[in-house]
Amino acid sequence: MRPYDIIKTKRDKGRNTREEIEFMIKGYLDNIIPDYQISAWLMAIFFNHLNEEESFNLTDVMLKSGDLIDLSQIKGKKIDKHSTGGVGDKTTLAIAPMVATLGIKVAKLSGRALGHTGGTIDKLEAIPGFRSSLSTQEFIKIANDVGVVVAGQTGNIAPADKKLYSLRDATATVEELSLIASSIMSKKLAVLSDGIVLDIKVGSGAFMKDIDKAKELGRIMLNISKKYNKKAVALITNMNQPLGNKIGNALEVLEAIETVKGNGPRDFSKLCLELSAYMVELSGIIPYKEAKEKLKKNIEDGSVKEKMKEWIKAQGGNELVVEEPYKYLEISENVVEFSSPQKGYITSINTEKVGSASMVLGAGREKKEDAIDTTVGIEILKKLGDRVEKGEPIAKLYVGSKSHVDNSLKFLKEAYKIEEQLPENLENKVIFDVLFN
Which stretch in 136-144, 173-181, 224-232, 297-305 sits in contact with ligand URA by CB under 6 A? 173-181
| CB 207 to ligand URA: min, Å | 6
Asked if residues 245 and 381 have their Cβ atoms less than 8 Å apart, the reply is yes
Which stretch in 27-35, 149-157, 178-186, 417-425 sits in contact with ligand URA by CB under 6 A? 178-186
User: Does 116 participate in catalysis according to the annotation?
Assistant: no
| CB 233 to ligand URA: min, Å | 19
Minimum CB distance to ligand URA smaller for 42 or for 79: 42
Q: Applying CB under 6 A, does 158 fall inside the site for ligand URA?
A: no
Q: Tell me the three state secondary structure of residue 113.
A: coil
Minimum CB distance to ligand URA smaller for 46 or for 165: 165
Residues 325-354 that bind ligand URA (CB under 6 A): none
Pairing type for strands 431-436 and 231-238 reads antiparallel
One-letter identity of residue 78:
K
Please tell me the count of residues contacting ligand URA according to CB under 6 A: 6
10 Å Cβ neighbour count for 18? 14
Q: Applying CB under 6 A, does 180 fall inside the site for ligand URA?
A: yes
Angle at 308 between CA 93 and CA 318, to 5 degrees: 100
The Cα–Cα gap between 81 and 96 comes to: 9
Instruction: Pick the catalytic residue from 55, 65, 132, 183.
Output: 183
| CB 22 to ligand URA: min, Å | 19
Angle at 107 between CA 240 and CA 261, to 5 degrees: 60
289, burial (CB in 10 Å: exposed 0-12, middle 13-18, buried 19+): exposed
Asked if residues 171 and 45 have their Cβ atoms less than 8 Å apart, the reply is no
236 pairs with which residues across the strands? 200, 433
Element (DSSP H or E) covering residue 117: none
Angle at 195 between CA 192 and CA 200, to 5 degrees: 110
Minimum CB distance to ligand URA smaller for 186 or for 303: 186
| CB 434 to ligand URA: min, Å | 21
342, burial (CB in 10 Å: exposed 0-12, middle 13-18, buried 19+): exposed
Q: Identify the residue among 183, 249, 315, 351 touching ligand URA (CB under 6 A).
A: 183
Element (DSSP H or E) covering residue 104: none
User: Does 183 participate in catalysis according to the annotation?
Assistant: yes
Minimum CB distance to ligand URA smaller for 117 or for 374: 117
| CB 435 to ligand URA: min, Å | 18
Instruction: Pick the catalytic residue from 82, 105, 309, 365.
Output: 82
Instruction: Pick the catalytic residue from 77, 123, 168, 188.
Output: 168
Q: Applying CB under 6 A, does 222 fall inside the site for ligand URA?
A: no
The Cα–Cα gap between 427 and 385 comes to: 9
| CB 181 to ligand URA: min, Å | 8
Which stretch in 31-39, 100-108, 175-183, 428-436 sits in contact with ligand URA by CB under 6 A? 175-183
The Cα–Cα gap between 312 and 251 comes to: 16
The residue of the chain with the least Cβ separation from ligand URA equals: 183
| CB 86 to ligand URA: min, Å | 12
Q: Applying CB under 6 A, does 184 fall inside the site for ligand URA?
A: yes
Minimum CB distance to ligand URA smaller for 165 or for 338: 165
Angle at 433 between CA 431 and CA 437, to 5 degrees: 130
User: Does 187 participate in catalysis according to the annotation?
Assistant: yes
Query: Which residues contribute to the site for ligand URA (CB under 6 A)?
Result: 165, 174, 179-180, 183-184
The catalytic residue positions are 82, 161, 168, 183, 187
